[in-house]
């Protein structure tokens, strides 16, 4: 049974996801309740669990209302349990749940926050990355270090390139504009930017993309590429040093 995945826009630029698989129905992050309730009720679905990636309010603001309405469980990273709504299941990185297409692996992706996790469905070919790896970008480093974030992105970059990356915000257009300042000669980047512009003009989401395309166009994943180092006048720098500089430039962009 393949996963049935619904992308739910929330707040001004957030995304939540509803994942229906052989084991039941999961909501991944809950920025606000109303859009998720509408999407669930439209389909006649009742969630079994809310799976939280990290503690920021724009990812957990709807948890209490959803739990009260559906009596569903709440799961999230054990490392951030003290900052999260009450958890029924505290998740450790490296644990698995479900089976078949619904098999889910918890991956540690610290950097944006210290306990941030991603939810990887290896057999279905999806990874839900919230504010770690993002379309054309990565999250700001609020609690961790550049080294943590680079290690997290490297972990995600090593997944099957056919994996669909589903991130937590519609930041793609601004990320694309920044990417062109780092990697201006990248033909794949230029082509992707044109597709994003067309999609956003139609109101279509663009934060769900194959990892293979991210590897070709996301400057944060390409910090180790000689062409990127050359373009940044850092030909002899380490990959981490280049990543750190890219993140610093994006913070000021």
Is the distance from CB of 243 to CB of 225 less than 8 angstroms? no
Instruction: Find how far residue 72's CA is from the centre of its chain.
Output: 23
Q: Is 57 annotated as a binding residue?
A: no
Pairwise CA distance, residues 237 & 64, whole Å: 47
Q: What is the CB neighbour count within 10 angstroms for residue 216?
A: 18
Q: Is 120 annotated as a binding residue?
A: no
Q: What is the per-residue DSSP string for the chain?
A: ---EEEEEEETTTEEEEEEEETTEEEEE--S-HHHHHHHHHHHT---SEEE-S---HHHHTTHHHHHHHH--EEEEEGGGGGGSSPPSEEEPTT-EE--GGG-EEEEE--SSSTT-EEEEETTTTEEEEETSEETTEE---SSS-HHHHHHHHHHHHTS-TTPEEEESB--HHHHHHHHHHH-TT-HHHHHHHHHHHHHHHTT----EEEHHHHHHH-TTT-TT-HHHHHHTT-TTS-HHHHHHHHHHHHHT-
Q: Is 169 annotated as a binding residue?
A: yes
Q: Is 116 annotated as a binding residue?
A: no
Classify residue 11 as exposed, middle or buried by CB count within 10 Å of its CB (0-12, 13-18, 19+): middle
Q: Is 112 annotated as a binding residue?
A: yes
Binding site residue list: 54, 56, 58-59, 112, 131, 169
Binding site residue list for Zn(2+): 54, 56, 58-59, 112, 131, 169
């Amino acid at each position: 049974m393949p996963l049935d995945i619904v992308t739910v826009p929330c707040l001004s630029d957030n995304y939540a996801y509803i994942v229906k698989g052989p084991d039941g129905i999961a909501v991944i992050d809950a920025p606000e309740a109303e859009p998720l309730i509408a999407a669930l009720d439209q389909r006649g679905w009742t969630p079994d669990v809310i799976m939280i990636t990290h503690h920021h309010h724009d990812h957990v603001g709807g948890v209490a209302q959803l739990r009260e309405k559906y009596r569903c469980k709440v799961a999230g990273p054990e490392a951030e349990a003290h900052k999260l709504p009450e958890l029924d299941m505290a998740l450790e990185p490296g644990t698995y749940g479900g089976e078949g297409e619904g098999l889910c692996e918890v991956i540690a992706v610290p950097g944006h926050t210290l306990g941030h996790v991603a939810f990887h469905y290896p057999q279905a070919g999806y990874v839900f990355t919230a504010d770690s790896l993002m379309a054309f970008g990565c999250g700001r480093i609020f609690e961790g270090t550049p080294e943590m974030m680079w290690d997290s992105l490297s972990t995600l970059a090593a997944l099957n390139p056919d994996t669909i990356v589903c991130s937590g915000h519609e930041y793609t257009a601004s990320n694309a504009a920044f990417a062109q300042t780092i990697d201006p000669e990248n033909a794949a980047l230029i082509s992707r930017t044109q597709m994003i512009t067309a999609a956003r003009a139609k109101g279509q989401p663009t934060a769900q993309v194959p990892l293979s395309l991210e590897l070709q166009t996301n400057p944060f994943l390409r910090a180790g590429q000689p062409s990127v180092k050359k373009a940044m006048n850092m030909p002899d720098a380490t990959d981490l040093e280049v990543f750190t500089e890219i993140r610093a430039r994006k913070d000021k962009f």
